[in-house]
Amino acid sequence: MSVSYPSRRGTTPTYVVEGVTSAAPATGLANFQMWLVSSAGATGIFAGHENKIATFTHQGGWGFSTATQAETAYDKTNALYWIIDNGEWAIDSEFDTLGTSTAIPTSHFANSVDYNAPGVTYAMQSGAPVGIYRFTTAAAATGVYTIQVNNSCVILDATVYQHSVATGAGCTIDIVTNTADLFPTFTCDQASIAILRPVASDTGIKTLTAGDLIKVTATDVAGALPKTTVIITFALGY
C-alpha cells in the first residue's frame, strides 16, 4: 500500500525521504529508502555527495542522484518539506500558504509570525487558507500584543506555553477580539514549565471579519509573570 504525502502546495513532493544526514545510517534498512545528504560535512560513503539524494537498495547498496531545480522532498523524521534551490536543499517555507511574513527557522512552531512588540498592530498577511500566529510575551511585564485581520477567518485553537516557573499568583494571558473574549483567561501560575490549554468555552465558532483585531493581553503581578509563547491557529473564510 502506498502512502501519499501531499505538500502544502497541494501537490505531491518529488521525493519522500527518511531524513537529512551526513553519514550512512546503520544496517537493516528497507529497500529503496532515501535520505537527503547534508549540505556540508558528509562522511564515509556519503563524502562528496552533499545535497544529493541517497537511495539504498538491497541489491546495489547506496546510489546517489541530483535533484533538479524546484524539486521537493518530504522529510518524514522532521515533518518538513524541502525544495532544491540552486543546488542546495532549503526548507520550503511557502509563505503565502502559511500566512507568514518572516524567514522560517527549522523549528516547526516557527512557521508563524512572531508578534513580540506590545502596543503595535501588525497586519495579517492575506491569501493564507490556514496558519499559525505566535505571540511572545515578555517576562515580568504587562503588555498588549495585537494583530489586525485582513480577511474573514475562523479562529480554531490556542495554546499558551509557560517558559519558566511562575514566582507568584495572579498573572494571566487573555485572548480577545475588539468586543469579546476568544478564549477563557489563561492563568500563568504553574510551578514549572507548562503547556496551558483552554478550558471549556461557550463562545461557539469564533469568526472574525476584515479589520477585526486579535489582542493578547499579558497581565503581570509583582514581577511574577514568566515569559510565554501564545500559539493561535486560524483558517480563512467562513
- 143 and 37: one domain? no
Per the domain annotation, does 1 fall within a domain?
A: no
Separation of alpha carbons 10 and 22, rounded Å = 30
- 188 and 129: one domain? yes
Separation of alpha carbons 118 and 147, rounded Å = 11
Structural domain harbouring 159: 109-236
Q: Which residues pair with 74 in a beta bridge?
A: 16, 81
Q: Which residues pair with 90 in a beta bridge?
A: 83
The structure's pTM equals 0.53
Separation of alpha carbons 49 and 38, rounded Å = 9
49: left (phi over 0), alpha (psi -120 to 50) or beta: alpha
Per the domain annotation, does 4 fall within a domain?
A: no
pLDDT, tens digit (0-9, with 9 covering 90-100), for 17-69: 888 888 988 777 888 999 999 888 899 999 999 999 999 999 989 999 999 98
The yes-or-no verdict on residue 105 having pLDDT over 50 is no
Per the domain annotation, does 40 fall within a domain?
A: yes
- 125 and 227: one domain? yes
Separation of alpha carbons 238 and 208, rounded Å = 9
Cβ contact 235:177 at 8 Å: no
Number of structural domains found in the chain: 2
- C-alpha cell read off for 29: 534498512
* CATH number of the domain residue 117 falls in: 2.60.120
Kindly state the average pLDDT of the residues 76-86.
Answer: 78
The helix (run of H) or strand (run of E) holding residue 93 is none
Separation of alpha carbons 225 and 142, rounded Å = 9
